[in-house]
Amino acid sequence: MNLSGELKQLLSSEFVSALEIISQKADDFGVRVFIIGGVVRDLLLGKNIYDVDLVVEGNAIEFCKFIEAENCCNIERISPDFGTAKITLKQFKNLSLDFASTRTEKYPKKGHLPVVDKIGCTLLEDIKRRDFSVNALALSINKNDFGLLIDYTDGVKDIEKKELKILHDNSFIDDPTRIIRGLRFAYKLDFKLEKNTQILQKEYLQHFNNNDICYERIKQVVKLAFSLNSTELYNEFINSKIYKLITAAPFLKDGFCIKKAVEKNKKLIPNENIWLVYLSCCINLEDTEKLNLNSKELSIFKELNRLKHNKVKINSNYDIYNQFNNVPMESIVAYLAITQDNSAQIYIDNLMNITPAINGNDLIELGFERGRIIGQVIEKIKEEKINGNIKNKEDEFLLAKKIMSEFYN
């Protein structure tokens, strides 16, 4: 199969020209260069491509140095340990290309980060270290076979069958993050796990040992998966027991309420934090320990935990305000999803932005002395405003005067 037509259709003309330059240089240097991985999958699925991963069968850094010596590109970054290089072509200043060397990997500690075993192996060996057959396709860009599809693992057939198939039976043991990658691809591509892959995943989730998991990596893939803001994905995470990778007992079993709460309050949560709402609806504060969250992420779990457990008696809007004031929005939305407690939505819709119009200077002009009393009066005015007892600045002044007369007499 040759995909040069798809390449021209789904890549920008600038990108195609850049590939043609690389194609010529690959022939001049005498190496085989391929587009590799998910990009080829997306080409076959007819998706527009904005970035390509390239692999050099051999040493990518030496190849990039050759192109640079020919005055065609600038090398932006190299990482010798992995044999990768990032370049920009002189002709297309805004376009950068990522090159990897073909490599094999070993897992000295199963489930943890692999180490590079050999740089410059064959394409086939490089393909074998990948996760799913649909992500293990390569497309030659050498001149004599530009666009030729190389499919060692029946990836094309699996794309047609809409199936995700791992490449060997130890795949999840080597790298359990693939389970969550699979979940993400299943949802994103509307694919299903192939039968044997399904069995091996189930087996892994029944018998794995916590020490064989690198939670740092799990966090990264969970983040990508939950960022898709999907009820179906969350429910599959629960129903397939993938949650076991991070918690013994998931808190919320149905993602419907999470999505509903997120959608209703979407403008208040940065896109990059949506995953934290899903995660905090799923795992407990104690589960976060192993995930190595940063302090901001952790505070979302701590505050949610406080909301869940320190139930305060609510007698007024001001009580609601105090329950949620200064709590991260992600915690409030997760709390809403978990408890369906409408006071959280009342806080967001009606209370959180209420502030007195009157300020400290106004109070001093009225005759208050500087000091703690100013803050206390402002807070009292805020309380009355939140409780709906006063409406405008005039009311605020009247209340301030009343407090002053009581306070100084």
Q: Which residues bind Mg ion (CB under 5 A)?
A: 38
* Three-state SS at 56: strand
- Our CB check for ligand ATP shows the closer of 177 and 323 to be 177
Q: Could you write out the DSSP letters of every residue in 117-136?
A: EEES--HHHHHHTSSBGGG-
- Provide φ and ψ at 97, rounded to 5°: -125, 135
Residue 135 binds ligand ATP, judged by CB under 6 A: yes
Give the count of beta carbons closer than 10 Å to the beta carbon of residue 376: 13
d(CA 60, CA 66): 10
Contact 334, 281 (CB under 8 A): yes
- Provide φ and ψ at 2, rounded to 5°: -120, 130
- Our CB check for ligand ATP shows the closer of 165 and 178 to be 178
- Our CB check for ligand ATP shows the closer of 66 and 187 to be 187
| Smallest distance, Mg ion to C-beta of residue 289, A | 30
The token pair at 55 is 């692999």
| Smallest distance, ligand ATP to C-beta of residue 90, A | 27
| Number of helices and strands in the chain (H, E) | 20, 11
Residue 240 binds ligand ATP, judged by CB under 6 A: no
Q: Which amino acid is at 173?
A: I
Give the count of beta carbons closer than 10 Å to the beta carbon of residue 249: 11
**Touching ligand ATP, residues 177-196 (CB under 6 A):** 177-178, 181
- Our CB check for Mg ion shows the closer of 220 and 355 to be 220
Q: Identify what 135 binds: Mg ion, ligand ATP, none; CB under 5 to 8 Å per kind.
A: ligand ATP
User: Nearest-CB residue to ligand ATP?
Assistant: 38
**Touching ligand ATP, residues 7-46 (CB under 6 A):** 37-38
Of residues 126, 163, 175, 396, which one binds ligand ATP by CB under 6 A?
Answer: 175
- Our CB check for Mg ion shows the closer of 12 and 392 to be 12
d(CA 378, CA 159): 64
Size of the site for ligand ATP (CB under 6 A): 11
* Contact positions vs ligand ATP (CB under 6 A): 37-38, 53, 130-131, 135-136, 175, 177-178, 181
